Chain A
């Protein structure tokens, strides 16, 4: 095979793989505008009517509220825990950082169903009923690592001299943290929070085991697809969820990019 042929084959294969990654998402977005109530390709007529119908659906709305609440609370808690972990670990030996990172990553590194059943056994053994509280605890647990790794990446690039200068000038550790470290980290914390929010907003596996009677939006989608009910509404909700999760990602990427240029 000549060099140019090889190049052509390489680019062809790469494009095909990229299409395999992206086309399904595109298809799912298009179906939200399908006027029909059964999913058949090609789509015959387009309409926004299912957007109105979905917005009017009480079940969808309450699921959306639960999801926003859980993701919001979990993100807030995780941002505090994740930032503390990163700042506390910064400056420790690399061995200690490795062990700490390993523990923080466990909740997302282990198979989801394992984390789910483990937390389920925990709350069951302690006779804690499954409510919004257990859901928030579970989500906080696996969101913390997202904030942690974002902040940690920023801290690694931050010159230590800044903090030391603050201490030399007589600032208490707390003052130094509040007036120097935190403002410098804010970009990475916010972009971490956006990613954590997206992660929580979309989570279904651990949620199933910790939600009790609460229905988050992903749990609603999961149930509806499984039972084959409300499919046109599923299309719309899926469209919205993709849009809602993509937005923070794109924003987060932008923030991270601008933070690294600072």
Chain B
């Protein structure tokens, strides 16, 4: 009896949050799936609830959309790799080189940008990379040639790398923290050089952390349209930008829905891959 009452208690508590989530989120994903097979009446602009594969046919045949999808995925991969490389030295210092007080300070400093405005962080790079920006001033002062990265895919790469670096740092720090000091010590005692210890002991044990971080850096980069619009150029369109303009400008929600399905498939596949590398074991 009490067990049943307990279970009912759990259910009563869980009903509002999961009811909300089911209606508004799962409902939305379901609506997205349906919309992808609808179409827009070219005359009236109304959405016709008639089943069609036209959206997918266009996506499969028009090479523009393939190029955009390849660019989106390619840059997301590049950003993920760059973030892994950049995260290592700082994560290593935070996890294994400083005392607990300093560690807390550094962790807060790493988390700060993540929680402050994303738009502000993107915008800051317009101020840095612009023709009269901070970077060119610095290069001029140092007697180096000026750069013109603004509104190119290079800018896109830099800004994405910057935006999502904390997502890589955090899980890498916690993966490195979990390695007991005795392991690298033992490797050293056995005569391993510091590089051998790193390659055979520390790096393999940090793979789940990198996998966990990469899920974030990859997925958020993939689903962006704001950064390409603000710092990218003519050839910087992402899948998100096509979705954005199809919803906003041309009102073709079914087509946008169909194209966004690629994101769902790619992110889903990536999560499965990352799980094999232990991305979700720590949580």
Question: Which label, helix, strand, loop or mixed, suits the secondary structure of the A interface?
Answer: helix
State whether B87 touches A17 (Cβ < 8 A): yes
Q: How far is the CB of B156 from chain A (nearest CB, A)?
A: 15
Complex: how many Å from CA A249 to CA B257? 35
Closest B residue to A30 by CB, please name it.
B127
Q: Which residues of A contact B90 (CB under 8 A)?
A: 13-14, 17-18
Q: How far is the CB of A19 from chain B (nearest CB, A)?
A: 10
Closest B residue to A91 by CB, please name it.
B10
The interface-forming segment of B26-34, B53-61, B175-183 is B26-34
Closest B residue to A111 by CB, please name it.
B223
Interface 0/1 of B15-45, CB less than 8 Å to A? 0111011001101111110110000000000
Q: Which of B11, B108, B117 contacts A218 (CB 8 A)?
A: B117
Complex: how many Å from CA A107 to CA B264? 12
Q: Does A76 count as interface, using CB distance less than 8 angstroms?
A: no
Residues 228-283 of B contacting A (Cβ, < 8 Å)? 229-230, 239-240, 243-244, 247-248, 253, 256-257, 260, 263-264, 267
Q: How far is the CB of B95 from chain A (nearest CB, A)?
A: 11
State whether A17 touches B89 (Cβ < 8 A): yes
Question: Which label, helix, strand, loop or mixed, suits the secondary structure of the B interface?
Answer: helix
Complex: how many Å from CA A222 to CA B122? 10
Q: Does B199 count as interface, using CB distance less than 8 angstroms?
A: no
Q: Which residues of A contact B190 (CB under 8 A)?
A: none
Complex: how many Å from CA A104 to CA B123? 31
Residues 194-209 of A contacting B (Cβ, < 8 Å)? 195, 198, 202, 204-205, 208-209
Q: Which of A24, A85, A91, A112 contacts B17 (CB 8 A)?
A: A85
Chosen A-B contacts, 18 in total, with CB atoms closer than 8 Å, are A3-B194, A13-B90, A17-B165, A20-B165, A41-B132, A84-B14, A85-B13, A110-B219, A110-B223, A111-B267, A113-B223, A113-B240, A119-B28, A120-B247, A125-B35, A225-B126, A238-B123, A242-B120
Mark A residues whose CB is within 8 Å of B: 3, 6, 10-11, 13-14, 17-18, 20-22, 24-25, 27-28, 31, 38-42, 80-82, 84-85, 87-89, 91-92, 100, 103-104, 106-107, 109-122, 124-126, 137-138, 140-141, 144, 148, 173, 195, 198, 202, 204-205, 208-209, 218, 221-222, 225-226, 234, 238, 241-242, 245-246, 249, 253
Mark B residues whose CB is within 8 Å of A: 9-14, 16-18, 20-21, 24-25, 27-32, 34-35, 47, 86-87, 89-90, 92-94, 97, 106, 108-113, 115-121, 123-128, 130, 132-134, 137, 162, 165-166, 194, 215, 219-220, 222-226, 229-230, 239-240, 243-244, 247-248, 253, 256-257, 260, 263-264, 267
